[in-house]
Amino acid sequence: MAALTGLTPELRPELLEATSRLEGKDYDVSLAILGRPEAWRFLVNPLRPSWGEPYAQVRDRMLREVKDAFDHASAGDAVLVSHQMPIWMMARTAARRSLAHDPRRRRCALSSITSLALRDGQLVEVAYFAPEVS
């Protein structure tokens, strides 16, 4: 992509996926996980979440990156590439919704685009696009 645009991508560790104690394990995000007793100790508080990086911590680090991108975007646009949960934290923040949610109901498809803007200092979602996969 850099060769096509002439832009040099900048790797930003703060845009990485949220940490999870369930990472690398064969779990799916469904009620089936309750049938896996070895995971129970991580499922104490779904509002935090107790299995990994707290939602508020993900929101805060992503907000820093989004605001930094807006501050440094010379043409007014910036492209940030991240993972489902951090992107969903930004969408929920923009919608002024609770960060706690059911992970099975995230609206963030593979290769989707969530467009955000800063209006009067407030983060707002402008658009969402998910390509059809055939």
pLDDT of residue 53: 80
Reduced to 3 states (helix: H, G, I; strand: E, B; else coil), residue 60 is helix
Share of the chain above pLDDT 90, in %: 22
CB neighbours (10 Å) of residue 94?
19
- At 35-80, the pLDDT tens digits run 777 766 666 666 666 566 888 999 999 999 999 998 888 776 788 8
Q: 127 or 46: which carries more pLDDT confidence?
A: 127
**Is residue 111 over pLDDT 80?**
yes
Average pLDDT across the chain, whole number:
81
Burial class (CB in 10 A: 0-12, 13-18, 19+), 40: exposed
pLDDT of residue 21: 58
**Is residue 29 over pLDDT 60?**
no
The two tokens of residue 8 are: 């040099």
Q: Which CA distances in Å does 38 have to 24, 29, 33, 41, 49?
A: 14, 15, 9, 7, 17
Phi and psi, residue 129, nearest 5°: -135, 130
Global confidence as pTM: 0.74
The two tokens of residue 89 are: 């934290």
pLDDT of residue 27: 55
